[in-house]
Amino acid sequence: MVLVAGVDIGSLTAKALILEDSKIRAYAIIPTGVDSEETSKKVMNIALEKAELRLEDIEYVVSTGYGRVVVPFANKNITEISCHAKGAVFLFPSVRTILDMGGQDCKAIRCDASGKVLNFAMNDKCAAGTGRFFEIMAETMELPLEELGRLSLEATDAAKISSACVVFAKSEVLTLLRRGVDKKNILAGINEAVALRVFALLNRVGIEKDFAITGGIAKNIGVVRKVEEKVGLKALIAEEPQIVGALGAALFAKEALEQVKK
Amino acid sequence: MIIHYGYADGSGEYYLIVDTDKCDGCGRCVEVCPNDILELAPDDYGKVVVRVKDEFVNSIGYICPACKRRDERCENVCEHAAISYSW
Amino acid sequence: MIVAGVDIGSLTVKAVILRDNEVVATSTLITGDDAATAAKTAINEALKSLAERGMSVTLDSLDHIVATGVGRKEVTFAHEEKTDVRCDAVGARHIFPSVRTVVDIGAESCKVIRLSKKGRVEDFTANDKCASGTGMFLDVLAKVIGVGVEKLGELSLKAKKPAKISSMCTVFAESEVISYIHRKVPIENIIAGVHESIANRIFGMMNRVGVEKDIALVGGVARNVGVVKALEAKVGESILVPEGPQLIGALGAALIAAEACGTA
């Protein structure tokens, strides 16, 4: 039995995942605190507890994400791009294009059958289409974040939101609310603006089927549907889309361990 | 692997695009960059290639377009056409 | 010969009335949700101030009206509409005949225009899709810092060491500002950092277009002396700022109106 782990320290959430041979044994997701090093220890400990293991039992750890260099117990760090591709192809072997919509960034990745990255583009300069964008929209509309997707599907006449810029979109939303436009229709408009933005990112790397969406926003069904419309492909979505990066890191850990053992 | 360093914002798309399969790590582009934004480093698969330093990825649109008036720029000095621009 | 230029911006509407190429009245008011009505009101306000000085002119009797700005297509009573770029260029050259680069920072947009020696537009770049580098960026951050946007300029001049704001995105910059406030960084340093961030963004656009001297800064944000200083430091050149910089687009429109009547 081989035990390895992947730790993904993102801007908003940290994830740890323990792999037993080729099976997910346990994982944990917690908010990223001010101290990324502390966060990495905490999230790892929770995953270890769930797996009823100790850190000493884990033979190899790969870290990834923004905070990947500060994980003290990692044997190696690998960019989140490679980890997302690796993790997505493991879950869905037919996947060749991945859109990762995270807390503060967006990535488009095209990969081969082994999960090796062929082409990627990322946008972490602008909050459009990130978790932060939807947090602000939920606040502005006084709606619970996790309800946005479902509500938007009930729209009858999508409102026009001309900009995916959070600040401009927010003022457009306020104007629409003042005019009494139904929140569901506004939500549909927001999703359309975001889908357009991420579609441009996907086109940069080229779209090849199958197509998967990962990251926290993959849980927003309204956004997923709009992106599917633009791409013209159905999106494959993991049961827990937030742990795909950590899964990829754990798979890299497994490979690295096999190399070391050779 | 083709890597798009940069971003899109309201005024356009600003990507410096590196094809790491074409890049042989000679470093000529690193030498000619007047703003010192490039470096050689191993990618996730262990190949030493040119990359944009992290701290400059989100300023490409402000830094790089000024080079379009220079002959000696990263895109031009690369013998393997490994670097291109989106602008 | 009396003509008008009206500039319908995203936040404010500006009107300039010219009589024989002399500015005789101006007005500025909030655009609100109805651009067409705001444009009419702005011109009427300006005409009212003329009437108070014994010059009775009605909107219908104006010889020519040119509309510009994002809302220009909604001004049905205008005789012509012209782009903001053209109007900015004409307005800035009228005040500063030597200008070759016009930077306009408005409420929700920014642009850089390069002119030939004769004042023809040679190249320009504009951003109206992203709040960074616009007045909105300052508005949002001023609110977080807790000072009025009109005080930013003066306060920033007292900064000893500008705090570095690395994000261009307003939303991400907001989080950086909040963390500086928590760390008790003096607000003048934070404000100076905010101005530097705008200057970086604008400088990038200037690089794209290519800068020729002289440089003028127009648009409402030009009233913020901190932004002017930060941009001067970045460019390494002094920058000309007209009086009433927010009126330059409307002035340009009015000058084009006068030209159409054959008085220029």
**Which tens digits make up the pLDDT trace of A206-218?**
999 999 999 999 9
Q: Answer whether C8's CB lies under 8 Å from C35's CB.
A: yes
Say how far apart CA B19 and CA A122 lie, in whole Å. 15
CB distance A168–C131 less than 8 Å? yes
CA neighbours closer than 13 Å in the CB half-sphere of residue C79: 19
Q: The domain B2-85: what is its CATH number? A: 3.30.70.20
Domain covering A94-237 in this structure, CATH number: 3.30.420.40
Asked if A15 and A7 touch (Cβ cutoff 8 Å), the reply is yes
AA identity, residue C263: T
* Chain B environment of A204 (Cβ under 8 Å): 4, 13, 15, 86
C91: part of which helix (H) or strand (E)?
helix C84-95
Q: Which residue ranges make up each domain of chain A?
A: 1-92+242-262, 94-237
Count the neighbouring beta carbons within 10 Å of the beta carbon of residue C158.
Answer: 13
What is the rounded CA–CA span in Å between residue A70 and residue C39? Answer: 57
pLDDT at C121: 95
Please tell me the pTM assigned to this model: 0.86
Q: How many angstroms separate the CA atoms of C104 and C121, rounded?
A: 14
Q: Which of A125, A137, A167 should we substitute to test contact with C (largest number of C Cβ atoms within 10 Å)?
A: A167
Provide the token pair at C193: 């950092």
pLDDT band at C249 (very low <50, low <70, confident <90, very high): very high
From chain C, the residues in CB contact with A127 under 8 A are: 169-172
Q: What is the pLDDT of residue A226?
A: 96
Radius of gyration of chain C (CA): 19
Among positive and negative, which fits the CA dihedral C117, C120, C123, C126?
positive
Do the beta carbons of residue A134 and residue A173 sit within 8 Å? Answer: no
* Separation CA C207–CA B67 (nearest Å): 9
Does pLDDT of C264 surpass 70?
no
Give me the residue from C33, C129, C136 closest to A175, CB to CB.
Answer: C33
The terminus-to-terminus CA distance of chain C in angstroms comes to 11
pLDDT value, residue B10: 65
Q: How far is B1 from chain C (nearest CA, A)?
A: 28
As to burial, measured by CB atoms within 10 angstroms (0-12 exposed, 13-18 middle, 19+ buried), residue A111 is buried
Contact C170 A136 (CB under 8 A): no
CA angle B46, B47, B51 (to 5 degrees): 110
Residues within 8 A of C (CB atoms), B 25-64 only: 58-59, 61-63
Nearest to C111 by CA among C99, C129, C95: C129
pLDDT beyond 60 at C263: no
- The tens digit of pLDDT for each residue in C106-129 reads 999 999 999 999 999 999 999 888
Task: Tell me which residue of A165, A5, A197, A231 sits closest to A101, measured CA to CA.
Answer: A197
pLDDT of amino acid C97: 97
Tell me how far apart the alpha carbons of residues A130 and A35 are, in angstroms, rounded to a whole number: 22
Q: Do C105 and C222 contact (CB within 8 A), yes or no? A: yes
Rounded distance, CA C117 to CA C214, Å?
A: 10
- Domain residue spans of chain B: 2-85
The continuous run of DSSP H or E covering C25 comes out as strand C22-30
Domains present along chain C, CATH in parentheses: 1-83+247-264 (3.30.420.40), 97-241 (3.30.420.40)
Architecture of the domain spanning A1-92+242-262: 2-Layer Sandwich (3.30)
Phi, psi of B48 (to 5 degrees): -80, 120
Q: Are A198 and A105 in contact (CB under 8 A)?
A: no
The pLDDT confidence band at residue B7, using thresholds 50, 70 and 90, is confident
Return d(Cα A176, Cα A185) in angstroms, integer. Answer: 10
Distances (CA, A) of A25 to A19, A80, A160: 5, 21, 45
